[in-house]
Amino acid sequence: MSTPMAILNDLTKCLGCRSCQVACKAWNHLPGQQTTNQGSYENPTHLSDHTWTRMCFIEALEGERHAWVFSKRQCMHCLEPACVAACPVGAMQKTAAGPVVYHKERCIGCRYCMVACPYTIPRFDWHSSVPYISKCTMCADRLGVGMAPACTQACPNEALFFGPREEVLALARERLRGEPGNYMKHIYGEHEAGGASVLYLSPVAFERLGLPVLGRTPVSHYSSEVMEKVPLAFVGVAAALGAVYWVSKRREELKQDKRKPDTSDG
Q: What's the domain count of the chain? A: 1
User: Rounded to whole angstroms, how far apart are CA atoms 12 and 204?
Assistant: 10
- Cβ neighbors of 12 (< 8 A, separation 6 or more) are 179, 182, 183, 201, 202, 203
Is 243 inside a domain boundary?
Answer: no
Is 28 inside a domain boundary?
Answer: yes
Is 49 inside a domain boundary?
Answer: yes
Is 140 inside a domain boundary?
Answer: yes
Is 157 inside a domain boundary?
Answer: yes
Whether the CB-CB separation of 131 and 124 falls below 8 Å is answered with yes
Query: In this structure, what CATH number is given to the domain that contains residue 210?
Result: 3.30.70.20
Is 266 inside a domain boundary?
Answer: no
Q: In a structure prediction context, what are the per-residue pLDDT tens digits for the chain, which is 266 residues long?
A: 478 999 999 999 999 999 999 999 999 999 888 877 777 778 888 899 999 999 999 887 766 777 789 999 999 999 999 999 999 999 999 999 999 999 999 999 899 999 999 999 999 887 776 778 999 999 999 999 999 999 999 999 999 999 999 999 999 999 999 999 999 999 999 999 999 999 999 999 999 999 999 999 997 655 555 555 445 444 454 555 555 555 555 555 555 555 555 554 54
Is 246 inside a domain boundary?
Answer: no
Residue 69 is inside which H or E element, if any? strand 65-73
Is 205 inside a domain boundary?
Answer: yes
User: Rounded to whole angstroms, how far apart are CA atoms 169 and 190?
Assistant: 8
Range of the domain at 167: 1-229
Is the full-model pTM beyond 0.85? no
- In degrees, rounded to 5, the angle at the alpha carbon of residue 53 between the alpha carbons of residues 52 and 59 is 140
